[in-house]
Structures are given as C-alpha cells and as structure tokens.
C-alpha cells in the first residue's frame, strides 16, 4: 500500500509538471495576443486624442467674435492658447456678435441668473451678475473695444482721501481701523494700501508688517508688526488659533437660527476670480461660529467668530444656501451692491508678544 501511494505521488508530480508547462505555454501565447491588441488599442486611443485635440483647436480657431469695427478674433487668438471650457457660450458674447454682424448698435446690456443656484456657487433667481473674469471678460474686452463704458471699479482708488485710524500702538505693534474699500496690500492695478501707507509712515519697520489681512471691502481692525521678529510671534498666534476675532455684519434678510456653526470648505473659483466656491472635494476647511444680535427692517445684525481664515469665508458662509442662505448687505460678489459691504472686524483679543498679557482691542462698527 505504501509503494502504491509513492507511485501515485510520483505520477501526480509528473502530471503536475507537464500541466504546468502546458498552461505556461498557452498563457504566454495568450499574453502575446493580448499585448498585440493592447498595443492596437493604445494606438487608437492616441490617434483619437490627437484628432480630438486637432478638432478642438480647429473649433477654437473658427469660433470667432466681431467687434464694432468688424474686427474678427478667434477664441484661440483671444486666449493665446487653450481657452477654458465653455468660453464664448454665455449670452453676452453671442448677442453682441449678432448685433455687430447685423450692423446694430448696442445701447445697454445686463445678464441675470435664471433658475436654481449651482451647487457650489451663490446665484439668485432673476438677480443681475457681471461677466465672469475667466471666460467672458477676455472675449468682451475685444468685443467692446471703443464702446464707452463705466470705469472698471477695480481700477479706481477708492482709498484716496481716507485715513487709517490708530486704535492701538506701542513699540512693537500697530493696530489700525481699515476703512471699507481700502486694500490691505498692493493689488495688481492699485498700490495704495495699508501696507504702503504704514511703510511710508514707519520707514524703520522690518518684515512683512501685516500679520493678517482684511478684504478690500471689509472695514475694521488690522494688526501690523513693527519688526520681523514680532511678526513671526504674532503669526504663530494666528496659526495656532490663539487669537480671537469677531466681526459684526448686517445680513440682507432674516435667518431663523439665533446661533450656530457653519462648516463649508472653500476653494477659489478659477473661472471667476476673486470669487470663492463651496467645494467638498478640493476645498480647504472653513468654519465659522455666529450669534444673532437683532433683527430689524429686513436685516439681521449678527456676530461672526471665524475659526479659520479663508478668503471671503464670512461672505460665502453667509450667502451660500448650505450656510445662512442670506448674503451680507452690500456684498457685490455674493449678494447685491449697496453703499458699502456691511462687514466690520470689531474685536481682536491676543497675547502681547513682549508683556505676555492678554490684550483686547475693540473698534465699533460705523453702521
């Protein structure tokens, strides 16, 4: 019985070896066939990619726009490369092109949103909005050449004639009350800013000066460090969230909740800068606590306590339907323009970098 078991084991071993050789051979043949088909598929994909790219470039070249001088420019020429997806598909370029093609003279034009707001953006039914900066603005710059228009508000120095009120100052720190419509740092078109004013008034200061920033349209307390070393210490307090900030705002409407927290991640709107979008996939964490102070005449006076400090965080958290669903009064980006943006940085609580004592600076809102 033992000899029979040994013989069966040897026979099975020989059979296994033969079967392994057989299937290895057939697997190799099949693999070679697969490689041939895979190469053909990859070649076809590359051909499709090249043809698609060529067709896209042809469309960019042939999709052209007129201006009042009957000058024609293609998408490819306007954007000097690959235009963003959807460029030229908005109403304004198409209507203007039709007008110029049929020798009509545009008198006035405004675009408004129809329907529900997109998921990440802030849009209201029947509300007027300017052309987006990424897609339409370059096209309209060509199409509206020579046509009288209002001056670009971003090119107007609204800070002219405004002064920086000092709310706290010692040997190490300077805290000012920045007026609304006043840049914190120099911009692309305007240089007049808190940074430039402070640099001119305090020529012996060193380092980046501004410890944090406020939106151009936001008024309130702005901290300046007079030396590089103090700037580093105060920046560390901001990064570790040891500094407490509060903002007061007027919302354009009523909200039901009296207090709460908003947690909506934000990222830049690449097609319409400087706007921000709510984006759960690629956005950076953004959290805001709030408390209602009063409700009066279709407005809500509210306190914001930002936990993070993202660009336009309070403005988006107020306006977005997943936030408060109620834009800040006078918000020309996410709501309706008014005499000003009713948002003010009213209080800053921090640890003094030298005395190590808690310091509270308060600046009452002008509204």
Of 35, 170, 192, 215, the catalytic one is 215
- Between the alpha carbon of residue 274 and those of residues 154, 267, 314, 334, the distances in Å are 12, 10, 14, 11
Q: The tokens 């009288």 sit on which residue?
A: 148
The full length of the chain comes to 367
Alpha-carbon torsion, ordered 152, 183, 361, 327, to 10 deg: 30
The token duo for 329 is 């009064």
Between CA 271 and CA 65 the distance in angstroms is 20
Which of 123, 138, 96 is CA-nearest to residue 271? Answer: 138
C-alpha pair distances (Å), 233 with each of 109, 159, 236, 354, 355: 51, 30, 5, 10, 13
**Tokens standing for 82?**
């690959």
CA atoms within 13 A on the CB side of 237: 21
Give catalytic status of residue 215 as yes or no.
yes
Adjacent-strand bridge partners of 116: none
The catalytic residue positions are: 215
């Amino acid at each position: 019985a033992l000899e029979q078991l040994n013989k069966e084991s040897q026979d099975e071993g020989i059979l296994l070896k033969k079967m392994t050789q057989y299937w290895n051979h057939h697997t190799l043949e099949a693999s070679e066939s697969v490689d041939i088909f895979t190469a053909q598929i990859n070649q076809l994909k590359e051909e499709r990619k090249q043809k698609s790219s060529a067709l896209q470039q042809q469309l960019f070249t042939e999709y052209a726009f007129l201006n009042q001088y009957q000058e024609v420019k293609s998408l490819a020429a306007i954007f000097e490369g690959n235009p963003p997806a959807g460029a030229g598909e908005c109403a304004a370029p198409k209507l203007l092109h039709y007008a110029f093609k049929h020798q009509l003279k545009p008198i006035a034009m405004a675009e408004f949103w129809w329907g529900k707001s997109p998921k990440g953006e802030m849009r209201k039914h029947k509300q007027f909005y300017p052309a987006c900066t990424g897609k339409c603005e370059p096209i309209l710059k060509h199409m509206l050449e020579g046509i009288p228009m209002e001056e670009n508000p971003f090119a107007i120095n609204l800070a002219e004639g405004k002064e920086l009120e000092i709310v706290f100052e010692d040997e190490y720190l300077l805290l000012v009350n920045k007026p609304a419509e006043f840049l914190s740092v120099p911009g692309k078109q305007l240089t007049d800013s808190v940074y430039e004013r402070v640099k001119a008034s305090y020529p012996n200061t060193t380092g980046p000066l501004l410890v944090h920033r406020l939106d151009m349209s936001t008024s309130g307390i702005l901290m300046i460090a007079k030396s590089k070393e103090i700037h580093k210490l105060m920046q560390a307090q901001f990064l570790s969230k040891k500094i407490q900030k509060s903002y007061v705002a007027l919302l354009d409407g009523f909200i039901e909740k009296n207090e709460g927290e908003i947690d909506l991640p934000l990222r830049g709107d690449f097609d319409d800068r400087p706007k921000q979008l709510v984006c759960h996939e690629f956005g950076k964490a953004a959290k805001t606590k709030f408390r209602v102070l009063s409700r009066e005449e279709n407005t809500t006076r509210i306190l914001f306590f930002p936990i993070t400090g993202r660009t336009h965080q309070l403005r988006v958290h107020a306006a977005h339907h997943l936030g408060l669903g109620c834009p800040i009064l006078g918000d020309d980006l996410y709501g309706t323009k008014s005499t000003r943006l009713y948002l003010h940085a009213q209080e800053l609580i921090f640890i003094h970098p030298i005395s190590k004592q808690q310091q509270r600076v308060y600046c009452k809102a002008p509204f």
